[in-house]
């Protein structure tokens, strides 16, 4: 028995009828609209989105990203898909089929083009597991740093700035201070928790050498007992990338890999955005609040090192 068309597909059919009869668009344009909207329908169907009223900005952005990431489409081709989506949802809003037009906040391709330089889970494992006793006295600290950066998608400046009271052992989470001094709480998995605990109990007490209250509260310290700065984090990442036989590795590559691995694992785009602490006004305005319990479940379910 043939399945009945979804509410979304019926809306597409009505839009194409309008475009042909009332707007008088050329056959080639109608064919392109039909193909583009058919691909979007398939994408939404796999995410159990049946109605145009249920489509949000996060669905549209994820669809466009999948065209780049999974199908390898060039920005020029994705620009065409973007134009189709905008025309379709503008028509839906004008005809009172949706209350708000989610496509009006979609960004242009150069803003969300596929991020280069993402490591595979196997490469990430090789990197975070490269510190060992043969790498000097601070190897436990370095292992904790790499685990934390990958577990929480941290920027180099963020991991170096973590304070002791921002590492919540009982909640398995970190309070992270990002750009603009904005704070977010990020759950972390067992490997990062265990190695950070090991560093705090076995190594850090031997590194604390100064009475400066500010310095003493910083969790990650250098051999001289001073807080680790951004440049030192870069040096640590590059050192162990060389040990692991990896090229062109920098701290932000761990962050890219964190986000990509979660998305490939099925995590919701809006949840990953909150975990990363992105502050783009155009996208964050439409994202709904996600509670901390859900964030923890996402990390447990989708991160390769939960």
Nearest CA to 40 among 3, 5, 9? 9
- 7-112 and 121-302 share one fold: no
pLDDT at 280: 54
Sole residue written with tokens 């990509």: 260
Instruction: Quote the longest CA-to-CA distance of the chain.
Output: 79
Find all residues with CB under 8 Å of 172, minimum gap 6, and list them.
187, 188, 189, 190, 193, 296
Which strands sit side by side in the sheet containing 173-177, from one edge to the other? 167-168, 173-177, 183-187
Tens of pLDDT, residue by residue over 252-287, are 889 888 887 877 677 777 788 888 887 653 332 232
- Using DSSP's 3-state secondary structure scheme, residue 32 falls into helix
pLDDT at 109: 57
Mean pLDDT, to the nearest integer, of 175-200? 92
Q: What is the CATH number of domain 7-112?
A: 1.10.150.130
Cα torsion through 195, 115, 83, 41, rounded to 10: -50
pLDDT at 276: 86
With bands split at pLDDT 50, 70 and 90, how would you rate the model's confidence at 289? very low
CB-based contact 30:111 (threshold 8 Å): no
Tens of pLDDT, residue by residue over 210-251, are 655 556 789 999 998 889 988 899 999 999 999 999 988 988
Tens of pLDDT, residue by residue over 124-146, are 999 999 999 999 999 999 999 99
Mean pLDDT, to the nearest integer, of 135-163? 94
pLDDT at 285: 29
Domain segments of the chain as ranges: 7-112, 121-302
Find all residues with CB under 8 Å of 223, minimum gap 6, and list them.
137, 138, 207
CB-based contact 294:187 (threshold 8 Å): no
Q: Which residue has the higher pLDDT, 13 or 116?
A: 13
According to CATH, the superfamily of the domain at 121-302 is Intergrase catalytic core (1.10.443.10)
Q: 182 burial class (0-12, 13-18, 19+ CB within 10 angstroms)?
A: exposed
Supply the DSSP string of 63-90, one letter for each residue.
HHHHHHHTT---HHHHHHHHHHHHHHHH
- Helix ranges (H only) for 114-189 are 121-128, 139-152, 156-160
pLDDT at 259: 81
Tens of pLDDT, residue by residue over 67-115, are 876 666 777 788 889 999 999 999 999 999 999 898 987 776 554 444 4
Nearest CA to 158 among 260, 233, 238? 233
Mean pLDDT, to the nearest integer, of 190-199? 96
CA triplet 6, 82, 64: central angle to 5 degrees?
Answer: 75
Q: Which residues are identified as catalytic?
A: 155, 179, 252, 255, 278, 287
């Amino acid at each position: 028995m043939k399945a009945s068309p979804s509410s979304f597909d019926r809306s597409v059919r009505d839009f194409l009828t309008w475009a042909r009869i009332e707007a008088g668009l050329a056959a080639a344009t109608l064919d392109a609209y039909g193909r583009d909207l058919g691909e979007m329908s398939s994408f939404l169907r796999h995410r159990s989105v049946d109605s145009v009223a249920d489509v949000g900005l996060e669905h549209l952005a994820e669809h466009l990203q999948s065209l780049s990431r999974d199908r390898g489409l060039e920005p020029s081709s994705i620009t065409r898909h973007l134009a189709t989506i905008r025309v379709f949802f503008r028509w839906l809003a004008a005809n009172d089929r949706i209350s708000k037009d989610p496509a009006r906040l979609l960004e242009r391709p150069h803003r969300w083009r596929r991020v280069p330089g993402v490591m595979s889970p196997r490469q990430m494992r090789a990197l975070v597991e490269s510190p060992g006793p043969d790498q000097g006295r601070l190897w436990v600290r370095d292992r904790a740093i790499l685990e934390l950066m990958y577990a929480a998608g941290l920027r180099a400046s963020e991991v170096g700035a973590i304070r002791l009271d921002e590492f919540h052992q009982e909640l398995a989470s970190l309070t992270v201070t990002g750009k603009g001094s904005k704070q977010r709480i990020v759950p972390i998995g067992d490997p990062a928790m265990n190695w950070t605990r090991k560093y705090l109990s076995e190594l850090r007490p031997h590194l604390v050498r100064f009475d400066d209250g500010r310095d003493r509260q910083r969790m990650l310290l250098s051999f001289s007992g001073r807080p680790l700065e951004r440049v030192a984090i870069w040096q640590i990442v590059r050192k162990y990338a060389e040990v692991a036989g990896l090229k062109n590795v920098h701290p932000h590559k761990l962050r890219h890999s964190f986000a990509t691995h979660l998305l490939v694992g099925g995590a919701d785009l809006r949840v990953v955005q909150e975990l990363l602490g992105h502050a783009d006004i155009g996208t964050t305005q439409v994202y709904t609040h996600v509670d901390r319990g859900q964030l923890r479940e996402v990390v447990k379910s989708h991160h390769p090192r939960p």
